[in-house]
Amino acid sequence: MKRFLPLAMALAAAACSPAPAPAPTKAAAATTQMSPDELVELRKASAQVLFWNQDTRSANFRRMDALFPGTTAKASSTPRALPKGAPLPFDEAAIDAFMKDQNVAGLMMIQNGKVRLERYGLGMTPEDRWTSFSVAKSFTSTLVGAAIADGKIGSLSDPVSRYIPELKGSGYDGVTVEQLLTMTSGVAWNEDYTDPTSDVVRLFSDPVPAGVDPTVAYMRQLKREYEPGQKWEYKTGETNLIGVLVRRATGERLSDYAKRKIVDPAGFAGDLFWQIDTGGGNTGGCCIMLRLSDYARMGLFALEGGKGQVPANWFAQAGTSHADIGVPGFGYGYQWWTYPGGAYGAQGIFGQGITIMPKQRIVFAVVSNWPVASSRKLTTERLQFFQKLAEAAQ
C-alpha cells in the first residue's frame, strides 16, 4: 500500500456533532423521557463537551453513561475471543512516542484475527469504555445495511421521504437513502463548531415543537443548494436523519437494533452505550461508548463482511469511495472514510478511530484525548504510523 497522503479537508470534516448535555437524573437516561426544564438544559449545553479541558475529558470520556442520557446494548453472551498473535517487530520507543504525541488511551492492532499490538495509557484498562463521537456514524450506516437485509428498507435508491414523510416538500424531496449515506444530498449546511449560528449548533439548540422529532424539525427547514448527487459536504445532521430513518423503518431504537445486528454477531465483550437526543432517540451521528477491544471487534465485523447481518457486498461498497472530498486518494463511502490502497475507517473528534486494511487483513482501533477536536497534523501522523506498523507486520 502506498503511503497515506495529507488529509487537508477530510480531517477538518472529521469533527462530529457535540454531545448532549448531562442528564439531571438517572431516570431520564433510563426512560428516555425528559421534562421541559431538562430539554432546555440539553439545548443550552449542547456544545459543552467541546470546551472541556484535557483532564476533564480523560475522566469523563470513560464515564459518559453516568453523565449523559442514553440507552445500552448489553454485551454479547458469547464474546469473540481475540487471541494473541506473534509480537510485532517494531521499535518500542517509537510506539511510546506515538502514544505520548497522540495522547493515546488505547491502541490495538489485529491481523488475521490475532492481536499483534495492544497498549493502554491515561490510566485506561482493557475493561474501561471510552467515548467516541462520529465513529457512531459508521455504526448507524451498518444498521442501514442490516435493515436492507431484513427487508425493512427496500433499496438505497428509495427516497428518504418514503421513511420520513415529514420531509416531503423540503430540500430533501427526491434525495435518496444512498445520497444521505454519502452526504451528497445537495442541501445547504454549515458544520462550523466555532459559529453559534451554524447548523450543527442550531440543530441541538433550537426549540422544537412538541411531538416533533428534533432532527426532522430542523432538517426539513434547510434549503437545497445543489442537485442531489453533485457535491459532497460533511453534515452530521444527515447522519442523525439516517438514525431517524432506521428507527422508522425497523420500529426499534438504534441501540436495540444494534444489539441484534452488531453487538451479538460481532461478539462484543462489553456493553455499548449510545446517547440520546432531546426527542429520546439514539443520536445517529454521534456518541457511543465501548471498550477498545470492541471498537476492534467492530472493525473485524466489517473486515469479515458482517456475519450475514448485512447484504453480502455491503462493507465492500460501504468502504469504497462514492464521493469526491477534494483530497487525492481519499473519499467518502457509506459513512466511512476511504483511504489510499483500499483502506477505510471510522473517525471521531479528539482522536478516536477504527482503521481497516482489507488487503493486509489488519484492523486498528485507537482511542485518544487530543488537545483539539480535529487536527490535520495528528490524523495524518496517525495514519502514517499505522502504515508503518502494517509494513512491519508483513
Q: Angle 178-313-136 (CA atoms, 0-180°, nearest 5)?
A: 55
Within-domain flag for 2: no
Task: Tell me the pLDDT band of 382, cut-offs 50, 70 and 90.
Answer: very high
pLDDT value of residue 47: 53
Give the chain's domain count. 1
**What gap in Å lies between CA 1 and CA 81, rounded to an integer?**
29
Q: Which of 271, 282, 295, 205 is nearest to 242 (CA)?
A: 282
pLDDT digits (tens, 9 = 90+) for 232-279: 999 999 999 999 999 999 999 999 999 999 999 999 999 999 999 888
Residue 33 pLDDT more than 80?
A: no
pLDDT value of residue 67: 86
* Model confidence, pTM: 0.89
What percent of the chain stands above pLDDT 70? Answer: 87
Within-domain flag for 3: no
pLDDT value of residue 245: 98
- Whichever domain contains 81, its CATH number is 3.40.710.10
pLDDT value of residue 3: 31
Distance from the first to the final alpha carbon of the chain? 11
| DSSP secondary structure letter of residue 257 | H
pLDDT value of residue 204: 76
Within-domain flag for 82: yes
pLDDT value of residue 212: 83
Within-domain flag for 1: no
Within-domain flag for 200: yes
Domain that holds residue 301: 9-393
pLDDT value of residue 357: 98
Q: Calculate mean pLDDT across residues 206-230.
A: 91
Mean pLDDT for all residues in the chain: 88
Within-domain flag for 4: no
Distance from CA of residue 130 to its chain's centroid? 13
Within-domain flag for 368: yes
Residue 13 pLDDT more than 60?
A: no
Q: Which residue has the higher pLDDT, 43 or 385?
A: 385
Q: Calculate mean pLDDT across residues 143-153.
A: 98
Q: Angle 376-64-135 (CA atoms, 0-180°, nearest 5)?
A: 40
